[in-house]
Structure 1
Amino acid sequence: MSAALAALEAALQDNVSLMEALLEQKEYDEALQCMDERLALIDSLVQLARVEPTQRQPAAILAAAHAIEDARLQALAASHHQIVFKQLAQVGKANKAGQAYRVNSKEF
């Protein structure tokens, strides 16, 4: 494995750890930035495989490992999406209840 590929592997793993921590802390804007950085790292991996034919096989192995990691991260992000959606729905219901209360309180 070349030094460039090893550096990409380390950067991708650091990215995964950071993204998990950001999702856990509910820092969603930062997690989105982390996802953008991940896409840039993946693009660098593709470029490395194109430029250095001897690195294609190791890059493919690394890509396969991170595809599994990406599926896990996608499921984690989806669960957070559901939590946020439910919280927003509750806020909407509370807002409607408040409006109904204000309308009804004016009648008395």
Structure 2
Amino acid sequence: MKGEREALPVQGGEGFVLRGSQSANGLTYTQWVAVVRGAPGTGLVTVQVPESAAKQVPGKAVEAALRTIAFRAKASVADQSRPCPTPSATPPGTGRWSCSPATA
């Protein structure tokens, strides 16, 4: 990956993000790799967006999401089993994530 490194503020820790591009299988991707650490441990978050999908997944949206990375206290069992809000308008197969309740 060719690109640049930038500090990433992380609640409860510190980190940085590498931003760049990569070519694979005839496609060019914009790529972000966030490396974070805090008292509970370390984390690595990667995002790859094909250049052809840049309008659907803008870089500013990816970077805003990466800025929400945080180290928090362990959630209670009740919080872990609470369903995540999932937009009902998100059609299946769009590549958008949704979540389901965690099991305790």
Instruction: Give the TM-score normalised by the residue count of structure 1.
Output: 0.23
Does 1 or 2 have the higher relative contact order (CA < 8 Å, sep 6+)?
1
When you count helix as a share of all residues, which structure comes out higher? 1
Select the structure of larger CA radius of gyration.
Answer: 1
Instruction: Give the TM-score normalised by the residue count of structure 2.
Output: 0.23
